[in-house]
Amino acid sequence: MDTDTGAAALRSRRHMRRAVAMLGACLATTTAGTVYLFSTYGPALSHRLHLTSMQSNVVAISANYGLLLSGPLFGWAADSIGPRILSLFAAAGSFTAFSALAFTYSGDLPLPNWLALSLYMVLVGLSAQSANMAAVTTTTKNFKQNRGTAVSLCIAFFGLSPFVLSHINSLFFTDGEQPNTFGYLRFLSALGLITSTIAALCLSVVGFGPSRSRIPPGFMANRPAPSDSSSSGLISDIASLDEERALIDPSANVGFGAVPKNPIAGNSTSGSGNGSTQLPQAQADVESSSMSSSTAQQSNTLPDRQRADGLDYDTARDLGGWTYLRDSEAQLLMLVLFLCAGIGVFYNNNVGTIVNALYYSSAKNPNPNAAQRLINHHVAVVSLGSFAGRLIIGIVADTCKRLWRVPRSGILVVVALCVMISQLVVAAATTLPLLLVGSAMTGLSYGFTFGFVPTLVSVWFGTRHFGSNWGLTSMFIGFSGQALGAFFGYVYDSNLPDQDPSRCYSGNCYRSAFGLSVMVSFMGMVAAAALAKHRSRRRRENRRRWEAEEVDHIEYVPFVLAE
């Protein structure tokens, strides 16, 4: 009884630590979301310093370069040194960067030119990526079941942050004749310092509980809850602790592959390519004596859809570093993210300019405060759409996978299609109400993309190197966003050399730029379809491999693989 009470208390503490870490992750991504706020203060900053649209785009995209190009570095740091140091760096960097922007705007800081602003925005991006990697890596390593939902919830606050902060700007910093941009930037600097410091106190890698099942070579599986047999529970607990040690302490020489079919022989086959672990002789004897009874009970109680003829033949592989970069599926996934997410980055940075053009060209008595409130409204809609997309996609993907066995690679094609539709709507928008619909759809599709791809990286390529893999995957998005933004700036400056938005009737001064974004989104959908076809071939090959194994399938726990 004392042992059971102690185990229950330990589980309770672990659940509490995991919940606190989840709270810290949401706070960290709230800080990271400030990287998407340029449209709320960028037009005022550009007007004060007399920047062209092209220069303003360079300043805006600098934050995305800092965010995305630092992904591999901060991903490696999250895997190696843990999330707390990253959160402290985010606190200091965010405070410094936004303070520098505020005092440059007020004229109290030297070097008031677009190159200096670009450097400050790079620091904004570095701080955001540091906070983001600390949060997402911790969440990925703390949750196994419903990981898609947990990760999407964490990332959703990344998208919700601009919604809340743009409303704060409208409520408290747009009184008087001109917007209080200086006060707003000072507020952002204090916010980053406070939230990231609290996140540093909350974040910790607790690890997850379920262990791997006995499976043929090359496959990975999730073991159901252990039976009433104490010996079976002992083996499960040992395997679970080994897997958690591998996550919490990457330097530990621990494997978490499948338990061998013949434990007494001591040869363990790794289901994921992680290596092998050898059970002590006494534990192997216990497992051997209980195997026949426990597997017989499980084979008679599990539903038919989980039996050997209903398996999901997608497997997760534990890849990292150059092995990950050379993998064809990883390359296709990077290409999809590069094309689709770059569109969201481009739109986030230029929605303020687009709203200004439509407002000033249609309003009889334009007012700067009214224009700023409209910009804040559109930024809030993009943010709310991004939040909803990041939250919805994880729940939908997990539900479709669990109930209808829809492959995640197929859902990725639908996500890319949503991106293309959003750009068609924006390209056709000639009024602010129609543009609002395009902003909502762009935010939603951007949330789908950024909420879904991290889950694919973790379930297709393993969690041990997730931070580094996700950093590498998202590293090049800034280049596509920069290319689209530069083209937008070129078109806008060519049609409006005097930078007078009142002459941009119905958005004619920038509309052709969205023809390129539609084309890019179509290419992203083609790449997603190619990846789905590749994953389909892998599933067929894995099915043939399973059926070719000369094993008694009844001896193996039926399992559902992560796709």
Q: How many helices (H) and strands (E) does the chain have?
A: 18, 0
> How far is the C-alpha of 363 from the C-alpha of 434, rounded, in Å?
16
- Which residues span the domain enclosing 527? 12-208+319-541
**Same domain, residue pair 253 and 399:** no
pLDDT for res 146: 64
| 520: CATH | 1.20.1250.20
Locate 337 and state its tokens: 């993210």
Q: What is the pTM of this model?
A: 0.67
Residue 36 · residue 162 · CB < 8 Å = yes
DSSP state of 268: P
CA distances to 157, 177, 283, 384 from 448, in Å: 13, 38, 46, 12
Is residue 398, in this structure, part of any structural domain at all?
A: yes
Task: List, for residues 533-550, the tens digit of each pLDDT value.
Answer: 999 888 888 777 777 764
Residue type, 483: A
pLDDT for res 197: 93
pLDDT for res 32: 84
**Same domain, residue pair 469 and 426:** yes
**Same domain, residue pair 250 and 334:** no
Name every residue whose Cβ is closer than 8 Å to that of residue 98 and which is 6 or more positions away in sequence: 34, 124, 185, 186, 188, 189, 192
Name every residue whose Cβ is closer than 8 Å to that of residue 257 and which is 6 or more positions away in sequence: 212, 268, 269, 270, 271, 272, 273, 274, 275, 276, 277
Domain endpoint, select from 272, 287, 316: 316
**Same domain, residue pair 277 and 156:** no
**Same domain, residue pair 273 and 338:** no
**Using CB atoms within 10 A of its CB, is residue 158 exposed (0-12), middle (13-18) or buried (19+)?**
buried
Task: Report which of 253, 254, 445 is spatially closest to residue 347, judged by C-alpha positions.
Answer: 445
Locate 424 and state its tokens: 């068609």
Please give the radius of gyration of the chain, using alpha carbons only, rounded to the nearest integer. Answer: 26
Locate 377 and state its tokens: 């409204």
**Same domain, residue pair 280 and 417:** no
Is residue 562, in this structure, part of any structural domain at all?
A: no
Residue 143 · residue 364 · CB < 8 Å = no
With tokens 């209903």, the residue in question is 310
Is residue 553, in this structure, part of any structural domain at all?
A: no
> How far is the C-alpha of 54 from the C-alpha of 328, rounded, in Å?
36
Q: Kindly report the CA angle at 239 between 406 and 138, in degrees rounded to 5? A: 60
Is residue 224, in this structure, part of any structural domain at all?
A: no
**Same domain, residue pair 285 and 334:** no
DSSP per residue, 421-445: HHHHHHHH--SHHHHHHHHHHHHHH
Residue type, 203: L
Domain endpoint, select from 316, 332, 365: 316
Q: How many CA atoms lie within 13 A of 118 on its CB side?
A: 13
Residue 56 · residue 489 · CB < 8 Å = yes
> Would you give the distance in Å from CA 472 to the centre of its chain?
12
> How far is the C-alpha of 442 from the C-alpha of 206, rounded, in Å?
35
Residue 58 · residue 118 · CB < 8 Å = yes
Number of domains observed in the structure of the chain: 2
Is residue 220, in this structure, part of any structural domain at all?
A: no
- 315-347 burial, b at 16+ Cβ within 10 Å, e below that, comes to bbbbbbeeebeebebbebbbbbbbbbbbbbbbb
> How far is the C-alpha of 314 from the C-alpha of 266, rounded, in Å?
27
With tokens 């800092």, the residue in question is 66
Residue 263 · residue 286 · CB < 8 Å = no
**Same domain, residue pair 356 and 398:** yes
**Same domain, residue pair 291 and 323:** no
User: In degrees to the nearest 10, what's the CA dihedral of 178, 183, 189, 194?
Assistant: -130
**Same domain, residue pair 395 and 257:** no
Is residue 216, in this structure, part of any structural domain at all?
A: no
Domain endpoint, select from 265, 295, 316: 316
**Same domain, residue pair 105 and 234:** no
Is residue 218, in this structure, part of any structural domain at all?
A: no
Q: How many CA atoms lie within 13 A of 138 on its CB side?
A: 36
End-to-end CA distance of the chain: 40
Is residue 559, in this structure, part of any structural domain at all?
A: no
Query: How does pLDDT run along the chain (563 residues), one tens digit per residue?
Result: 566 787 778 778 888 888 888 888 888 888 788 888 888 898 888 888 888 888 888 898 898 889 888 888 998 898 888 889 999 999 999 999 999 999 999 988 887 788 899 999 999 999 999 998 898 888 888 876 666 677 777 877 777 888 888 889 888 998 767 789 999 999 999 999 999 999 999 988 886 544 334 444 444 444 444 444 433 333 334 434 444 445 445 554 443 333 333 333 333 333 333 333 344 443 444 344 444 444 434 444 433 333 333 345 555 678 888 999 999 999 999 999 999 999 998 998 899 999 999 999 998 888 888 898 899 899 889 988 988 898 888 888 878 888 888 888 999 999 999 999 999 999 999 999 999 999 999 999 999 998 899 889 988 888 788 888 988 898 888 789 889 988 998 999 999 888 888 899 999 999 999 999 999 999 999 999 999 999 988 888 877 777 776 444 444 433 333 33
Task: Report which of 294, 417, 423, 434 is spatially closest to residue 378, judged by C-alpha positions.
Answer: 434
DSSP state of 549: S
**Same domain, residue pair 23 and 151:** yes
